Amino acid sequence: MTFRVCFVCTGNICRSPMAEHVFRARVEEAGLSALVEVDSAGTDGWHEGDPADPRTVHVLQEGGYTSDHTARQFRREWFARLDLVIALDAGHERTLRRMAALPEEAEKIHLLRSYDPAAGDDLDVPDPYYGDMDGFEECLRMVEAASDGLLVAVRDAVNSPAV
């Protein structure tokens, strides 16, 4: 059975596609590609059909990651097929929790930086959209740090016997 992870930010052109590509690389490096599916979406549909922000593409490529992406909006009905819904900040988490119709759906929602022990209480990945390249580079560092802990959690879930 495939384990499905979806990263969610606002417009699905900066943070969530960055997290998607970084985490997909972690999954591939761990040899879990056949077991784990990774994608992303936005809470809003402003950029549906658009590619990732050029600055996101730049930092991903500079980091050695893939960057092909088309933005889309998260849909409530996706909860049924997803195992984890990873919010990039507390605003996205609140929006997703409002969308969740069942307690089991809400239990799937987590903040990305909650998987980074060094994050402390600062669990938001700041939106780099209105800033310069430094913001995108910092976003990438945060995403990379949290992806390692997320991979441990996903590996444990994939390897645990079904109940």
DSSP label of 67: -
- Confirm whether 14 is a catalytic residue: no
Distances (CA, A) of 4 to 15, 99, 103: 18, 18, 18
Q: Which of 44, 50, 83, 127 is catalytic?
A: 127
As a whole number of angstroms, the distance between CA 137 and CA 47 comes to: 22
Compute the CA torsion angle 13, 58, 153, 100 (nearest 10 deg). 0
Q: Which of 6, 14, 15, 139 is catalytic?
A: 15
| Helical H segments across 66-121, by residue range | 90-99, 103-106
Alpha carbon of residue 124 to chain centroid: 12
- Confirm whether 15 is a catalytic residue: yes
Q: Which residues are catalytic?
A: 9, 15, 127
